[in-house]
């Protein structure tokens, strides 16, 4: 049986599912949830019933934390990319033998 709070409960469940995907770093699955979020949001009435307040506050708290954690993941990625960018010239130089000079084997021993 469908109640007027079902869509609000689905919203909380989606936020929890997003939380799990963020924790796992499963960004593709997170993007795939966008359609379900839109469908759920479209089912919500313009004015929520008073009984939905607790669920809305719960969903809001989860979504806010999700936003913070996505931002932190983006910053970690930025730092990793910067480190790769800084180390690339050294790797290219090493791979091409540019900094090591010619390879010479001393056979005099």
Residue 107's pLDDT is 67
Read off the tokens for 55. Answer: 């669920």
Question: Domain spanning 6-91 has what CATH number?
Answer: 1.20.58
Residue 4's pLDDT is 85
Task: Report the alpha-carbon distance of residue 1 to residue 41 in Å, rounded.
Answer: 20
- Kindly state the DSSP code that residue 4 receives in the 8-state scheme: T
How do the pLDDT tens digits run along the chain, 109 residues long?
A: 678 899 999 999 999 999 999 999 999 999 999 999 999 999 999 999 999 999 999 999 999 999 999 999 999 999 988 888 877 666 666 666 655 555 566 666 6
Domain boundaries, the chain: 6-91
Q: Would you say 17 and 33 are in contact if contact means Cβ atoms under 8 Å apart?
A: yes
Task: Report the alpha-carbon distance of residue 59 to residue 15 in Å, rounded.
Answer: 6
């Amino acid at each position: 049986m469908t109640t007027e709070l079902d869509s609000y409960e689905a919203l909380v469940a989606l936020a929890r599912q997003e939380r799990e995907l963020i924790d796992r770093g499963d960004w593709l699955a997170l993007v795939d949830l966008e359609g379900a979020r839109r469908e759920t949001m479209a089912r919500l009435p313009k004015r929520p019933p008073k009984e939905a307040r607790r669920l809305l506050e719960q969903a809001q708290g989860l979504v806010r934390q999700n936003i913070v954690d996505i931002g932190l993941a983006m910053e970690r990625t930025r730092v990793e990319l910067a480190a790769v960018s800084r180390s690339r010239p050294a790797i290219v130089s090493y791979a091409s033998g540019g900094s090591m000079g010619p390879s010479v084997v001393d056979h005099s021993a």
